[in-house]
Structure 1
Amino acid sequence: MTMQQKTTDAPNPAHRLKTGAEFKATLDDGRQLWLGGRKLDKVTDEPALAAGVELIASMFDDQFKPEFAEATTYVEPTTGELASRAWQVPRSSEELTDRRKMIEYTSLKTAGTFGRPPDLAPAIVAGLMAHVDVFKEKKSMIEGCSPDFGENIEAYMAFGRANNLTASESLAGPQTDRSNPKAAEMAFLRVKKATKDGVYVSGAKTVGSIAAQANDIFFTNLGGLTTTPPEACVWGAVPINTDGIKMISREMVSQPGASKFDHPVSSLGEEADQFIVFDDVFVPKDKIFNLGDPTGMSWYGPVCVFAHWHVLTRLAVKAELFVGAGQLVLDVLGTGKIPAVQLMLGELIEYAQTLRAFIYAAEHKASMTASGVMTPDVSMLTAGRLYSIENYPRIIHILQEICGQGLVMRFGKDAFENPEIGHYLNELLPGHGVTAMQKELLMNFIWDMTSGALAGRVALFENVNASPAPRLRARLFEEVNREAFVDQVKTIAGMDW
């Protein structure tokens, strides 16, 4: 369905969409960014970041193309305007399925290598909207500032939608001495001063993926702990160029400027994780969603359900890319009739299908919250995420093994086109029904997805981002109600206790 088909009653509807050029213009705002000890005047001064910006900008331009309109845009019922699906709050099962189309779209655009694409942070805002009734009942426990949390959540969702906003989210704190609770507490963002107009916070956040390429930073201390000190119980959002915010980037791992043939994926750039310092940063009263209330922090899990749904969907899309790449390897190497190789590809298919099954089950078991938001089943998402990270390393290994020496002996476009040596490569390395260069392009794609520096960073991110397996199992223990299972056993066994 095209954009025009979706808006039959309003052939030229008002919209809240940015073009790619408009998005790029918003990034030239004086943000404070360091890379390798060098301060950047603009985010686009670093080639890897610039390439990532171009990739994100293409997503904005795609909103205006009929072939992508269904996945990237929708008509917001409260305004009648065309808006980005990133900021859609699903109010029905159909809208939940429609919102997934945006996740699948951004996952394909980035080949699943952006763990936090532009539609991830809005998913957390949607999670707050799902429980806005709870936050409406909460009050500030920091004297001197009294925000209306519920009103602010609703206003920020409207603000993000109206401005086609790109936001980064950073929940994790810096890695410190875990044996010392005081050291861990020192890593928290903390309110240093409260006024009637807002609060001043200091501290740091880490793994701020896409922050350098976004408009806003959406932050909190990783929650769930009712023992969090009141001054560290803060959720909020501010522009990334706010005074006092300094971003220190990790080193780049992509290969911008490389031949698209040599590096089909890593030439696209990357989302560079940031260590984000808050040095007496002012957070306006109307951009605060929790302040001083430890019980508000315990809602981290329910609020992040949409983000976890996003993560699992992206992993499923990437798993399907692995299946497609594996099938192509069988085709070009002529190994598709070898039973052992078929079984290896079968394991890739099993992984992809299982992730899809968890997603569909989570959506099938979705329920409406008291605030009127259709929310995926959390236990299915947790089980799916656990399965995904436990099996991800093996899936990567299998795809590498299917390729054989193809990943070890790779040659770039320059070598193939060199008149002295290129003819040897072309004559001696053809595949089944394809040229040597066509076979090499496939191997280069798989290298970028499984073996290069970017792939290594992505594999590490997937594991850290998901939480360790023991923690996910602990979440399952808390999330899955087992009473019905117990009753079934008692009924069958005739137990009267």
Structure 2
Amino acid sequence: MTVQDTSTTASKPAHRLKTGAEFKASLDDGRNIWIGKRKLDKVTDEPALGAGVDLLAEMFDDQFKPEFEDATTYIDPQSGEIVSRAWQVPTTIEELADRRKMIEYTSLKTAGTFGRPPDLSPAIVAGLMAYQDVFKQKKSMIDGCNPDFAENIEAYMDFGRNTNLTASESLAGPQTDRSNPKAAEMAFLRVTKAQADGIYVSGAKTVGSIAAQANDIFFTNLGGLTTTPPEACVWGAVPINADGITMISREMVSQPGANKFDHPVSSMGEEADQFIVFDNVFVPKERIFNLGDPDGMSWYGRATVFAHWHVLTRMAVKSELFVGAGQMVLDVLGTGKIPAVQQMLGELIQYAQTLRAFVIAAEAKATQLASGVVTPDVSMLTAGRLYSIEHYPRIIHILQEMCGQGLVMRFGKDAFENPEIGHYLNDLLPGHGVSAMQKELLMNFIWDMTSGSLAGRVALFENVNSSPAPRLRARLFDEVSREAFVDQVKTIAGMDW
């Protein structure tokens, strides 16, 4: 990617943006990807991955369109250049709200089905930037390699911003026998060798969403425990085509190549999760953000504050799509005056409004840290994510129930256009004020969002991505101070203990 030369154009500053074509070209780099028995020569050789790449490429092209430029780009105050808003580090509440525009954009672009779109991983880097002063005090605890963590974090942020980088992040280790501590420990990605210019790591990461469609992999071990072995205490980033990295794709669940009428959402492809094997992968010294320090790992929860804000915002956007679809069901079925159906839609609205309220509250209670970075309130994010996953299955069920037989009896465009049978469908299945085909397109959209294989994968991902409810409740116990509440009770009751 080259920087735009605007020396003869006074209207716009230079930019550091990729086009969709440049993004696609950046993925043709010899990366090692397997799907079943097939090794892909290019990521686009797999239809589901290729369709997802096309969708991501549209996001890059949208950066140059006036209607999307405010949501997707901003002017870097340091360089004066136009850069991707994905790499914006908020220093005011206003900038926090501006950064949210990008999350809302990517959420709508993917209908909320990409849990880790291109602006998710930069949010984790921004979280590390927020605690850069903490990492400045930390040193390597692995002999032979001594990176400057704080300097590396800032350099990687600059690198991502200047190259319009797409990165994946993978935190979870392989699922193993958890009754055996040794087996669980062996699942960690770990340092096998350290030298002055970098380290070698081996092991595996799982649920590497969007990894096959990204440029870099940003990795660590999901732990945060002081018992994590020093050799497994590592945060770093490498190109996804680095020597020693092998990606093994899970089964595809979207409908690439399907008619857009039949599958409005799943025809767009998917972010395919990857099982990522590291076999003595070299990580340069400049790409290491923690090495050997268990306490550094314990900062994971705080450093992912922007990622959790991203998750909650995306869920809020998706919940509003559910409300929109629900209202359209009432319109086309003519059920809007039935009190019971109104209450169903009311519950969808309650869910959407509550999630949006958590997002707004987290931003309103934002804190400016010593680094100057403004971060959303973590307890509001945790409570919002907990609410989102606890109610998500019911919201899906309500929307399905509102559709009735419409989701069971769906017909594709070919059936409607068949001269032998199409007239039956067109004559006998119209909606209130809309044609049968228009009504069917709505049902196909809701099927893709709630009932198909892609919807099933997304529902499972939401729960894993947000963390199970018990873990979130445990986080709330740690995050929310109760002393002031206790003092209020004592004051009202006249207690002196």
Distance in 2 between residues matched to 1:185 and 1:444, nearest whole Å: 45
Give per-residue Cα distances to partners, 1:207-233, cap 9 Å, x unaligned. 000000000000000132111000000
In structure 2, the residue matched to 1:6 is none
- 1:109 aligns with 109
RMSD (Å), alpha carbons: 0.7
User: Which residue in the other structure is 1:143 paired with?
Assistant: 143
Task: Quote the offset at 1:495 in angstroms.
Answer: 1.1
Correspondence for 1:62: 62
Shift of 1:37: 2.2
Q: Counterpart of 1:302?
A: 302
- Partner residue, 1:164: 164
Is residue 272 of structure 1 aligned with residue 276 of structure 2?
no
In 1, Cα distance between equivalents of 2:360 and 2:98: 13
Q: Cα deviations across residues 75-98 of structure 1 (Å, max 9, x unaligned)?
A: 010111100000000010000000
Q: Please tell me the residue identity of whatever aligns with 1:173.
A: G
Residue segments in structure 1 that go unaligned for 5+ positions in a row: 1-8
The 3 A distance-change label for structure 1 pair 119 and 361 is same
Looking at structure 1, the residues matched to 18 and 292 of structure 2 have their Cα atoms a distance apart, in angstroms, of: 36
SS of the residue aligned with 1:396?
helix
In structure 2, the residue corresponding to 1:241 is in which secondary structure? Answer: coil
How many angstroms apart in 1 are the aligned matches of 2:115 and 2:217? 16
Give, in whole Å, the separation in 2 of the partners of 1:369 and 1:46.
Answer: 44
Aligned to 2:89: 89
Runs of 4+ with deviation above 6 angstroms:
none
Give, in angstroms, the shift of residue 10 of structure 1. Answer: 5.4
Find the counterpart in structure 2 of residue 177 from structure 1: 177
Aligned to 1:118: 118
The residue type paired with residue 82 of structure 2 is: L
The residue that corresponds to 2:415 in the other structure is 415
Partner Cα distance (2:181, 2:391) in 1: 33
Contact in 2 for aligned 1:262/1:444 (Cα 8 Å): yes
TM (normalized to structure 1)? 0.98
Q: Distance in 2 between matches of 1:281 and 1:252?
A: 27
Match of residue 24 from structure 1 = 24
- Is the contact made by 1:223 and 1:299 (CA closer than 8 Å) also made in structure 2? no
Residue in 1 that maps onto 2:3: none
Partner of 1:189 in structure 2? Answer: 189
Partner of 2:223: 223
Match of 2:212 in 1: 212
- Counterpart Cα distance in 2 of 1:217 and 1:223: 18
**1:453 counterpart letter in structure 2:** S
Cα deviation, 1:229-259, whole Å, max 9, x if unaligned, reads 0000000000000000000000100000000
Q: Distance in 1 between matches of 2:223 and 2:23?
A: 32
Fraction of identical pairs, as percent: 86
The residue that corresponds to 1:478 in the other structure is 478
Distance in 1, matches of 2:183 and 2:362, equals 38
Query: Which residue of 2 is the match for residue 74 of structure 1?
Result: 74
Give, in angstroms, the shift of residue 64 of structure 1: 0.2
Q: Which runs of 5+ in 2 are unaligned?
A: 1-8
* Cα distance in 1 between the residues matched to 2:32 and 2:86: 26
Q: Distance in 1 between matches of 2:115 and 2:494?
A: 50
CA distance in 2, matches of 1:411, 1:394: 26
For 2:182 and 2:90, the matched residues in 1 are separated by 41
Distance 1:479 1:269 in 2: 38
Q: Please list the CA deviations of residues 300-346 of structure 1 after superposition, one character each: whole Å capped at 9, or x if unmatched.
A: 00000000000000000000000000000000000000000000000
Task: Give the AA of the match of 1:485.
Answer: F
Counterparts of 1:496 and 1:411, CA distance in 2: 71
* Amino acid in structure 2 at the alignment position of 1:167: A
Q: Which residue of 1 aligns with 2:283?
A: 283
Aligned to 1:4: none
Q: Give the Cα–Cα distance (whole angstroms) in 1 for the partners of residues 137 and 410 of structure 2.
A: 60
Equivalent position amino acid for 2:56 in 1 = I
Matches within 5 A, 1:329-478: 329-478=329-478
Q: Which residue of 1 aligns with 2:5?
A: none
Provide the residue aligned with 1:314 in structure 2: 314
Give SS of 2:107's match: helix
| TM-score, structure 2 normalization | 0.98
Number of matched residues? Answer: 489
Residue type of the partner of 2:139? K
